[in-house]
Chain A
Amino acid sequence: MKLFAEFHHSGDHEGAWRLPTARPDRTNDAGYYVERARIAAEGGFSHVFFADFVGYDPVVRHQVRWPFEPTTLLGAVAATVPDIGVVATGSTVFASPDDLVDTFATLQDVSGGRAGWNIVTAGAPVAAAAFGREAVPAHDARYDAADAVVDHVRAAFTEETRPLFVQAGASPRGRTFAARHADAVFAATPDREAARAFRDDLHARAAALGRPAPLLLPGFLVTLGSTDEEARRRRRQLDDLLSEGTIATLLDQFGLDLPGVGLDDRLPDGLVTGAGFQGIRSRAAVLEGVARELGPDVTLRGLVRHVAGSRGHLQHTGTPEAIAEIMADWVGAGAADGFVVKFSHNPGGAEDFVDGVTPLLRAPGTARHITLTRAGDPGGLPARVPDPPPARRPRSRRRPGLSSLTPVSRLDNPQDPP
């Protein structure tokens, strides 16, 4: 099983930055991310993963977005944390092919070959405004252009020295792209049978191209508690921290067309993506499935509270045992090769996972026994991607600062006192 840790500053749940334990005062602090990466490395994660959404979005009024350009941030993380892979999002729309080669060759150099490129072909309309373009290129045309970009980047490396290629497309055109290029696919597949079909489809498409199949790594939002009740209480606390502004806008990014539907109105049958929408097209169907499971009386507010944090990805609120069971079950059923774990909140979410779930995944001789994939193992990623060492080092999450090599411990923007 392969585990990636996705870090979105205060957690994936949009209300998490308002928890008393959150540290929104550290949104501009690179050391915060280094601490998260260290915890992930010690907890069996092979990679940290950083998303990127280029362009100013006014929802930053209510939500922490992505305060660091990720390739630059991961240059610092890779130079500081020696034993974890770093996957940075890079858009084929807003960087030139030569710039992408430079960026990922340099990240490979700095990290000693631990870098990955999350290939994004999309751009939100706000990104087009930032770059002075009138519109984001059309969905399928973007993929056609991206094929050439990825071929260009691949050709600049040898197969042994290239970065890991990660991709998140789930539309039919996205799957073709993933089968052709990706080592790993990061997917929003909350339903196990749909995930198994998706994985089978990726295997078939890759086989037709004579390529090894990419690993399927569903995103998995975990909200942990030592008991079910504690976990549910945590989740309710987070949902109650969603501002009205966040609730009203959370589904906008997926282009859902719900004219005249108020927050407390029942959802209409069929959530459809607006015809002109050129963003993440595959998510509307995922959200529709979620809405169906919630029953006929679900309101828009109810759907938003349910998908907050996960935004359509697999999620579970419960004990470490339940999380470990789901992971083992999905991998055993051929629905996943691992997961991109998304934490409900941080600090705290990653620590709870590493303390609670990791030991269960590592424990031999139990029904849920899982061997964390080692480099070069069948089903693992290519050998150039080192797995973390299996032997546990004594861990202390209170290690101060970035590392003994660096003086950086905390950064606050003096313009923005906490």
Chain B
Amino acid sequence: MSFAEILADATAREEAGEPRVLIRDGDVFVLAAAVAARTATIRIGVAVDTARTHPYVAARKLAALDKISLGRAEWLPEDSEPARRDEAVHLVEALLASWGPGATVNDRERGVHVDTDRITAVHHDGRWWSVHSPLDVPAGPQGVVPRVVA
């Protein structure tokens, strides 16, 4: 579906009082961000193929979507291999939690933007994925973006 069709659908659902939409087309994060910018209350989910999306990429895009939507983001991890999906979910959630509460301090006087002592690296060498880093952005309003089930 085109953006115009998806936006019309999401807007109609929002006006009808439906709680959520799920984006499955194209780059789901770009489409969801565009829908988020043009809607107010409906929750916006993205279906993420965890077989082809690196968990680090998924986490930083989910963080962006959650900020853009003011906390309306959710995601549906999908994979033909359930164990790979579970590994990706674990990593995405760990990365979204890697900046502790209050990490962004914006202390102009001392010149400290982020208290990096409140950031914890994720260290993971799994069967499918490997990460040795915290997320490079703070999470959005919801922190760990909630999952939905199909």
- Residues of chain A at the chain B interface (Cβ within 8 Å): 17-18, 20, 24-25, 27-30, 34, 53-58, 60-69, 71-80, 94-96, 98-99, 102-103, 105-107, 109-110, 126, 129-133, 241, 243, 245-246, 402, 405-408, 411, 413-418
Contact = CB atoms under 8 A, between A and B. Distances in A.
Given A58-B116, A79-B38, A80-B37, A416 B138 contact: yes
Contacts of B25: 106
A413 B140 contact: yes
B113 A245 contact: no
Contact of A411 (B39, B70, B113): B70
A408 B113 contact: no
A18 B54 CA distance: 35
Contacts of A29: 67
Q: Which among B101, B131, B136, B141 has the highest number of chain A CB atoms within 10 Å?
A: B136
Contacts of B54: 94, 131
A27 B131 CA distance: 25
30 contacts: A18-B108, A20-B108, A24-B113, A54-B136, A60-B116, A64-B113, A69-B63, A69-B137, A72-B64, A73-B33, A75-B27, A75-B37, A75-B68, A80-B38, A99-B53, A105-B26, A106-B31, A109-B26, A110-B34, A130-B133, A243-B111, A246-B111, A406-B38, A406-B40, A411-B141, A413-B140, A414-B141, A415-B99, A415-B102, A416-B104
B140 A28 contact: yes
Given A24-B106, A24-B113, A126-B133, A30 B30 contact: no
A109 B124 CA distance: 37
B143 interface: yes
Given A53-B136, A241-B111, 15 more contacts: A18-B108, A56-B121, A60-B113, A61-B115, A63-B113, A69-B60, A72-B33, A75-B31, A78-B34, A95-B57, A106-B27, A243-B111, A406-B40, A415-B138, A418-B106
A61 B114 contact: yes
Cβ-closest 7 pairs across A and B:
A132-B130, A243-B111, A75-B33, A79-B34, A75-B30, A106-B26, A416-B104
Interface in B114-143: 114-116, 119, 121, 124-125, 129-141, 143
B139 A56 contact: no
Interface in B85-103: 99, 101-103
A353 to B, nearest CB: 24
B27 A71 contact: yes
Given A61-B113, A67-B138, A72 B30 contact: yes
B139 A413 contact: yes
Contact residues on B (Cβ < 8 Å of other chain), bracket = 35 or more
Contacts of B29: 69, 71-72, 75
A408 B71 CA distance: 11
Contact of B30 (A25, A107, A402, A405): A107
B11 to A, nearest CB: 10
A62 B130 CA distance: 28
Contacts of A129: 131-133
Nearest to B126: A132
B4 to A, nearest CB: 8
A130 B119 CA distance: 14
Interface of B: 2-3, 7, 25-27, 29-40, 52-54, 56-57, 60-61, 63-65, 67-68, 70, 99, 101-104, 106, 108, 111-116, 119, 121, 124-125, 129-141, 143
Given A28-B67, A62-B112, A107-B27, A56 B134 contact: yes
A408 B129 CA distance: 36
B30 A415 contact: no
B52 A102 contact: no
Nearest to A55: B136
Given A54-B136, A106-B30, A73 B102 contact: no
Q: Which among B2, B35, B133, B139 has the highest number of chain A CB atoms within 10 Å?
A: B133
A33 to B, nearest CB: 10
A406 B113 contact: no
A76 B37 CA distance: 5
Contacts of A54: 56, 60, 136
Nearest to B106: A24
A415 B65 contact: no
Contacts of A415: 99, 101-103, 138-139, 143
Given A109-B2, A131-B56, A56 B135 contact: yes
A62 B106 contact: no
